[in-house]
A = this chain, B = another copy of it.
Amino acid sequence: MSKVEVSFTPENYHVYENLDNIVVVTDILRATSAICTALHHGAREVIPVSTVEEARFYKSKGYLVGAERNGVQLEEFDFGNSPYSYMNELEDRSVVLTTTNGTKAINMAKNSFQVVVGAFTNFTALANWLSQQERDILILCSGWKGRYNLEDTLFAGALTERLEQMGTVSLTEDSALSAKYLYNLAKDDPYKFLMNSSHRRRLKKLNLKEDIRYCLSMDNTEIIPVLHEGSLVPMNDQVLEELRLAAETAED
């Protein structure tokens, strides 16, 4: 039986870090939801970068670049982090993305056994894959500027509950228990539950209702983005084999 833990913010990651873990990074509003959307709509890869400077470098090289800070798109770039902007004209393109929280969390976890991207939009595909791995799982919530947030916790709780139901994990850790309890309070209407949180104010202001509804919708895609040589690519057998070989080489 595997273990599942939740790091509620990137600030806690180093405590939970284990290089044998699979890390599921989530940033429901909106980075990881957008990444799933981009790959579902044909992008070849999403390159997560932590700084605006790196994003600017890629932009100068001709890449499509999304850049968000404090919930809004930076003007000089092609996209922000709204999933709706990642639905067209991405076929076989490389997309670079930097966001306030999510892309930093992804890069933070890069030395773990595998880094996958989780969202409600790829929920069941991700849970099914995780249930076959027989590895401990860390769900890394991106939070908001180092602070705890409810929407990432809800995702962590939903995934924890599903993995428990599938018999994949035993719930021994307070973080995972707490996330599951919270999800159970919210699951009848996660949208309403979230609107009763601090994001209500922040997100209503940014007119993100449609984005929020999309980011809370389940199972729009089968794609599981996995980190491979610094890029998030759709998981498939070939990518997994290359990751397996790279891990073996690193051990030698």
Contacts and interface: CB of A to CB of B under 8 A. Distances in A.
A27 to B, nearest CB: 14
Interface residues of A, number: 31
Contacts of A6: 148
Given A9-B12, A11-B12, A185-B185, A172 B198 contact: yes
B172 A181 contact: no
Given A15-B146, A148-B6, A177 B153 contact: no
Given A8-B8, A147-B16, A185-B185, A153 B172 contact: no
Interface string A166-195: 000000111101100110010000000000
B198 A12 contact: no
A174 B12 CA distance: 17
A205 interface: no
Contacts of A9: 12, 15
Interface of A: 5-6, 8-9, 11-12, 14-16, 144-150, 153, 172-175, 177-178, 181-182, 185, 196-199, 201
Contacts of A201: 172
Most buried by B among A8, A14, A144, A178: A178
A199 B173 CA distance: 9
Contact of A147 (B174, B185, B197): B174
Contacts of A185: 181, 185
A178 B182 contact: yes
